[in-house]
Amino acid sequence: MLYRDGDPIADTRAPEGPLETRWERRRFSARLVNPANRRKLTIAVVGTGLAGGSAAATLGELGYNVLSFCYQDSPRRAHSIAAQGGINAAKNYAGDGDSVHRLFHDTIKGGDFRSRESNVHRLAEVSTSIIDQCVAQGVPFAREYGGLLDTRSFGGAQVSRTFYARGQTGQQLLLGAYQALARQVHAGSVRSFPRTEMLDLVVSDGRARGVVVRDLVTGEVTTHLADAVVLATGGYGNVFHLSTNAKGCNTTAIWRAHKRGALFANPCYTQIHPTCIPVSGDHQSKLTLMSESLRNDGRVWVPVEAGDSRPPDQVPESERDYYLERIYPSFGNLVPRDIASRAAKAVCDAGRGVGPGGLGVYLDFADAIARLGRDTVAARYGNLFEMYQRITDEDPYQVPMRIYPAVHYTMGGLWVDYDLRSTIPGLFVIGEANFSDHGANRLGASALMQGLADGYFVLPAVIGDYLADGPFGPVDPNAVDEAEDGVRELVSTLLTIKGDRTPESFHRELGRLMWDLCGMERSEDGLRKALERIPSLREEFWRRLKVTGTGGELNQALEKAGRVADFLELAELMCVDALHRSESCGGHFRVESQTAEGDARRDDDRFSYVAAWEFTGVGEPPMLHREQLHFEAVRPTVRSYK
Amino acid sequence: MRYRVRVWRQTGPTAKGQLVDYEIDGVTAEMSFLEMLDVLNERLQLEGDDPVAFDHDCREGICGACGVMIDGVAHGPGKATTTCQLHMRQFDPADPIVVEPWRAAPFPVLRDLVVDRTALDRVIEAGGYISTRAGAAPDAHALPVPKPDADTAFEAAACIGCGACVAACPNGSSMLFTAAKATHLGVLPQGQPERYTRARDMVETQDDLGFGGCTLTGECTAVCPKGIPLSTISRLNHDVLSAVLRSG
């Protein structure tokens, strides 16, 4: 049995009535906690990226007692920092017809009609305040000569609504949030715990009441109690081993919360980013993204003939296939990521790929350089070109870049309602760690928007409504002991197997398996094969793992082993979800469900729902709870970018 | 290819450390410097030895986590680069590569190549921000910023907080780091109200934390992966002096 059916999810706490005023009405109906009482309430925020950093800072500003945790040596290093391209906002500063409704519409459509209208509309509304907030903090966005903010276009949109700071938008936004956080640390409202990893959630009387953490320097395992817990620990793309995520990104916090009862929604929705530097060798440790913004001016092509091994400058114009412009004339090179990725895979599978192994397509700037001049191109993309040259030893001003899709983002995550509450009372989930806003495919420049929307504006407005139910009484000491003992036992088990394979070797094997069988294209046969192999790889892990050193010291191999153990469980759920969803939608492409032209074919009659999975035991069939999606403002159509 | 490396090994903050020699086979030109260390670590673990601990995360030169002294140079050979962006084609297999942690009094070694850089967070906490509250901001276009100022702010804001400037400085000074933040916020109109107190508070804090004084040797800017210019330090000194004069 693949899975069991559970009760559908009836209540998402979304307000009724007109879509445009739901958020305003929700904010008004949310109960408040008076400032004197906020000081007495402790909120643990795990993760310090755009979502966690901005949430911890804002909750501190409001006067709550905040505990902020991150595994990095400083909150400033969370992986949001690596986001390159930009952040969307419906400011319509370009005067090109943008509006809150258009951003809402583009995001729902971009997500292939698999996200909630209420949440997405709120996101579009809040987007404009984010830009105001960041400018007030001193985020140095790109500006025009008149001193006003500049914007550019991203995939899936026909307006220019993406604000940016060269190719380092994520860095600048994160530093803004980090500085706001630092201000609260200085003020004493936030206590910061860097090099500290959450390893379990304390659930007492059915409520999330704290976190069990391991100090990554001393190895000490301790518990921090709280009145509410916020997980902002990012996505789980590293289940594929090779991805654009940072090396430390992991699923541990959300997976262990899942094992404590939080439902996990749409785990199979992963985003494969079309423009990454291709893999170069067996020892490669990570993949590097080349920002989507490059598709504003770069043209994607491959040779018309399969097996054409001429260098790019010797392929005449008439023998080049600018396939995105050819197939999708109205969006051209700016089609959404899922479509661009699959198109690249299709031409490579047809033997027309370029570079070593034929796993690459060209992203060519020759026309842009001729049209705009080298200096303008350098001003827009200089740092990206430099990064490319450093890694590949090729000069993109002279030869076209070679790019190939790579795992980048996970739309799935812990299930949350409109108020960002998970199914465990008191456990809130924000940013990439939740599932809520991007449906089956996220549009470019929308991750930064969602992280900051959740952290600066949504969570602070709704968390008081939960806390107003308190005080929740003392925490059951047995619940703390049980969670702490579990963590200590896990650490000691990982250290005592003393087998003959490193954590890294298991991670690499799992990643290859997931990329081949649950990656850009999924089939029933492949997924069934994966579901046979994952449990046996997991069994081998617990039999042959070798971790040197002890638990009472800085031990990076031990950290890695714990994360790989969780990936080995999550991977199975991803494959179950991918197998059960026999339609194609967004980033989830089932070969059995495609049009004659090879596009994704949705099945709204059977699958217009969120799949929220309940944990029932390792290797046991999970329980499926369906949340039906209702569309009132947008009618689901066949997504066309042609 | 086979490379020889001499790596600083130290089991804990109070333990005595030493350089240990290793030979690493199967290194290719495309491999990054950190991937070469990955290969070494895989082997060490299989042989039952502790792998070399080093900080790293994004491996694309932006998070600021990585950073070691390579043959005595912070972030190794190559201009404006982080350690993770080095590739083995930049190294000659004939020469042994010496790898050591950042050395500075406020950066104690935690293990092998990992140091504690939380002192840099303390400097930012002392004033490296613009005091504003979520939800209280005016419309972003209410305050135009001349493009040259925005560009200057951006260049300074590009600092990744890796600490190479401190490690390279003969005095162990964090002035370039502090000056980058003071410049980023100090040239923007939003940052004017706190401009002088910000500069003063951050500099006082870095002094209290045990960072050395700046004698403008310029070693910092030579190794800075983001090319933060030395002129930011002059700017910071000016603002600190103004703060002192203003406070009478």
Q: What is the pLDDT of residues A220-271, one digit of tens each?
A: 999 999 999 999 999 999 999 999 999 999 999 999 999 999 999 999 999 9
Among B74, B91, B111, identify where a domain stops: B111
pLDDT tens per residue across span A34-81: 999 999 999 999 999 999 999 999 999 999 999 999 999 999 999 999
CB contact under 8 A, A136 and B61: no
Q: What are phi and psi of A459, to 5 degrees?
A: -55, -50
Which residues of chain A lie closer than 8 angstroms to B186, CB-CB?
none
Residues 6+ apart with CB under 8 A from A160: A94, A96, A98, A151, A152, A153
Q: Which amino acid is at A151?
A: T
Say whether residue B34 is in contact with chain A using an 8 A CB cutoff. Answer: yes
Residue of chain B with shortest Cα separation from A77: B63
Based on the fold, state whether residues B104 and B30 are members of the same structural domain.
yes
Coil, strand, or helix at residue A637? coil
Interface residue of A178, A454, A556 to substitute, partner B, most B CBs within 10 Å? A556
Among B77, B111, B145, identify where a domain stops: B111
Which residues of chain A lie closer than 8 angstroms to B150, CB-CB?
140-143, 147
Of A96, A218, A237, A73, nearest in space to A161 by CA: A96
Q: What confidence category does residue B248 fall into, taking pLDDT thresholds of 50, 70 and 90?
A: low
Burial of A595 (0-12, 13-18, 19+ CB in 10 A): exposed
**Same-fold call for A273-407 versus A477-604:** no
Based on the fold, state whether residues B124 and B189 are members of the same structural domain.
yes
Which residues of chain B lie closer than 8 angstroms to A460, CB-CB?
134
Based on the fold, state whether residues B40 and B124 are members of the same structural domain.
no
Q: What confidence category does residue A382 fall into, taking pLDDT thresholds of 50, 70 and 90?
A: confident
Domain CATH for B173: 1.10.1060.10
Find residues 174-213 of chain B whose CB sits inside 8 Å of chain A: 184-185, 188, 190-191
Based on the fold, state whether residues B129 and B229 are members of the same structural domain.
yes
Among B57, B79, B111, identify where a domain stops: B111
pLDDT tens per residue across span B83-127: 999 999 999 999 999 999 999 999 999 999 999 999 999 999 999
Smallest Cβ–Cβ distance between B124 and the set A57, A166, A179 belongs to: A179
Does pLDDT of A641 surpass 90?
no
Does pLDDT of A551 surpass 80?
yes
CATH 3.20.20.105 assigned to A273-407: no
A76 assigned to active site: no
Based on the fold, state whether residues B106 and B137 are members of the same structural domain.
no
Question: Structural domain tally of chain B?
Answer: 2
Coil, strand, or helix at residue A425? coil
Does pLDDT of A496 surpass 80?
yes
Q: What are phi and psi of A379, to 5 degrees?
A: -65, -35
Helix or strand run (H / E) with residue A35: helix A35-38
pLDDT tens per residue across span B25-53: 999 999 999 999 999 999 999 999 999 99
Name the class of domain A477-604. Answer: mainly alpha
Does pLDDT of B212 surpass 90?
yes
User: How many whole angstroms separate alpha carbon A389 and alpha carbon A383?
Assistant: 10
Per-domain boundaries in chain A: 29-271+409-467, 273-407, 477-604
Residue of chain B with shortest Cα separation from A501: B46
Smallest Cβ–Cβ distance between A393 and the set B12, B89, B184 belongs to: B89
Q: In what order do the strands lie in the sheet with A87-88?
A: A87-88, A162-163, A151-152
More confident position, A197 or A390: A197
Based on the fold, state whether residues B91 and B197 are members of the same structural domain.
no
Domain CATH for B95: 3.10.20.30
Question: What ipTM score was computed for the predicted complex, to two decimals?
Answer: 0.98
pLDDT tens per residue across span A97-120: 999 999 999 999 999 999 999 999
pTM for the whole thing? Answer: 0.97
The pLDDT assigned to A282 comes to 84
Based on the fold, state whether residues B157 and B225 are members of the same structural domain.
yes
Q: Is the four-CA dihedral B100, B102, B104, B110 of positive or negative sign?
A: negative
Residue A471: asked if its preceding bond is cis (omega within 30°), the reply is: yes
User: How many whole angstroms separate alpha carbon A211 and alpha carbon A203?
Assistant: 9
Based on the fold, state whether residues B207 and B225 are members of the same structural domain.
yes
Give the CATH superfamily of A29-271+409-467: FAD/NAD(P)-binding domain (3.50.50.60)
Does pLDDT of A292 surpass 90?
no
Does pLDDT of A368 surpass 90?
yes
Q: What are phi and psi of B221, to 5 degrees?
A: -70, -25
Domain of residue B209 covers: 117-246
Based on the fold, state whether residues B128 and B228 are members of the same structural domain.
yes
Based on the fold, state whether residues B50 and B137 are members of the same structural domain.
no
Based on the fold, state whether residues B214 and B159 are members of the same structural domain.
yes
Q: Is the four-CA dihedral A511, A115, A80, A275 of positive or negative sign?
A: positive
pLDDT tens per residue across span A394-429: 999 999 999 999 999 999 999 999 999 999 999 999
Based on the fold, state whether residues B124 and B145 are members of the same structural domain.
yes
Does pLDDT of A383 surpass 90?
no
